[in-house]
Structure 1
Amino acid sequence: MTHNQNPKSEAVAAYIDGFNLYHGIRPYGRRYLWLDLEAMTRRLLRPHQRLASVRYFTAPIRNDPAAQTRQNAYLGALQAHTSVDIVLGRFQERRRQCHACGATWRTYEEKESDVAIALAMIEDAVRGGFDKILLVSGDSDFCVAVRAVRRLNPAVGVIVVFPPGRRSDVLGRAAHGRFFLGIDTIRRSQLPPLVPGPAGLTYTRPKSWS
């Protein structure tokens, strides 16, 4: 008599910290920013796992028209080519001052995305419906959310995926497991240069991302 050694199929939900991933990719060049997040996430799965959902958390860029144009093209391409759920936060204006000379300047800080990711993971864990969480981030602020998920639904496994060059040992210890997202996986997970959109629109990879 033989026994089936294959594990049961696992539903996996992915939560991607957009700016943490961006800052991990950026040192390798802009050519990797036209990233198909769904294809990338599928490459992280094991053979017995299936992708239930991918949520991408970011914020609209402010005060830089060229960057806004690139971001809009990218988000439009993602929506047209994949089933990724894009969750937008916001940038908040802040005034900075040099203590030495008194000069002031304006900066922007991303707000709400971290909170949105934490709440989404906790809410989804409470509702159930999947077996594993993939959290793509190296931000230690998510330790509290990871511990809450494990406490509220111990059956859900939480795996942290560190973007290139990003790492948090304390976050990795809070989860069930951790591993690094390789730049080769990112390289092989690019969107097509031209992505057809609705109503005859076409989203084109920005020239500076080529």
Structure 2
Amino acid sequence: MGRAVFYVDGMNAYHGFRSKYGREFLWLDWAALAQQLRQPDEVLVVRYFTTIVAGEPDAAHRQETYLAALTAHRPEVQVVRGRYKKKVNKLRCRVCAERWTCACTPPTYHRTYEEKLTDVALAVAMVRDAAERYGDVSVVVSTDSDMNPAIEATAALAPDRTVYLACPPGRQPEKKHLPTSVTPFLIRRDQLAASLLPDVVCGAQGQRYARPAKWR
């Protein structure tokens, strides 16, 4: 039996679940899923890296409700937050769709948001745990190739540490793009179905966090 540490790329997992199953598994108990994935290992901690969505208040509220429910129900889940940086796309005007030199007064531009810090935070945590010999199994939930340098550094620092890549549904990468030190596997639907939070989670101070109607 090993001692497993999980590193979850929240946005990568979210988009994988949404593309395959819609909103069915967004109200997910990550600690329960971790135990499903690594029986009979001891799961020491689940480090969940995410960013609250920007520019969509209703979606942000659902996300905050979920994170509050998850951490209230599972203290072993550690949420690490990044942030979104606003970007302005000056290639085309939002009014006439012409190039930014259009005659609209004033020209308006597409505003988009770029997630910042989460990938770096995940990579740093993974390498730090390997250097400090915290646990002996690393499980990365992501198919983002930006994780490859951290996986390779982990293998160099702790050659006896097993590293797994748990791929969200529909996002299994080609093996030729993966470091040789990692073992990939696909998260199955039955594992997700067995790992949902209760519809209503109660906090330590009597708070009640209900699964959003849109996520049912």
TM-score normalised over the length of structure 1:
0.91
2:198 matched residue in structure 1: 192
Instruction: Please tell me the residue identity of whatever aligns with 1:97.
Output: K
Using the alignment, how far apart are the partners of 1:129 and 1:108 within structure 2? 34
Does residue 108 of the first structure (1) align with residue 106 of the second (2)?
Answer: no
Alignment deviations for residues 35-91 of structure 1 (CA, whole Å, 9 cap, x no partner): 0000011000133x2111110000122221101110011000011000200000000
Q: 1:75 pairs with 61, 67, 77, which one? A: 67
Q: 1:91 pairs with 68, 84, 90, which one? A: 84
Which runs of 5 or more structure 1 residues have no equivalent in the other structure? Answer: 1-8
**Cα offset for 1:198?**
2.9
Partners of 2:13 and 2:142 within 8 A in 1: yes
Counterpart of 2:184 in 1: which secondary structure?
strand
1:43 matched residue in structure 2: 36
Does residue 34 of the first structure (1) align with residue 32 of the second (2)?
Answer: no
Change (3 A) 1:202 1:76: same
Does residue 151 of the first structure (1) align with residue 149 of the second (2)?
Answer: no
Instruction: Please tell me the residue identity of whatever aligns with 1:128.
Output: R
Summarize the alignment of residues 12-23 of structure 1 with structure 2, pairs less than 5 Å apart: 12-23=4-15
**Cα offset for 1:171?**
5.1
Does residue 124 of the first structure (1) align with residue 117 of the second (2)?
Answer: no
Using the alignment, how far apart are the partners of 1:114 and 1:147 within structure 2? 15
Counterpart of 2:32 in 1: which secondary structure?
helix
Which runs of 5 or more structure 2 residues have no equivalent in the other structure? Answer: 93-97, 101-107
Alignment deviations for residues 167-205 of structure 1 (CA, whole Å, 9 cap, x no partner): 223454443311001122112211000000132210000
2:139 matched residue in structure 1: 134
**Cα offset for 1:113?**
0.4
- Name the structure with the higher helix share: 1
1:6 matched residue in structure 2: none
2:104 matched residue in structure 1: none
Using the alignment, how far apart are the partners of 2:214 and 2:148 within structure 1? 35
Stretch deviating more after TM superposition (168-177 or 196-205): 168-177
Summarize the alignment of residues 152-171 of structure 1 with structure 2, pairs less than 5 Å apart: 152-169=157-174, 170=176
Using the alignment, how far apart are the partners of 1:163 and 1:135 within structure 2? 10
Partners of 2:151 and 2:182 within 8 A in 1: no
RMSD: 1.4
1:4 matched residue in structure 2: none
**After TM superposition, which residue ranges in structure 1, 4 or more long, deviate above 4 angstroms?**
none
2:49 matched residue in structure 1: 57
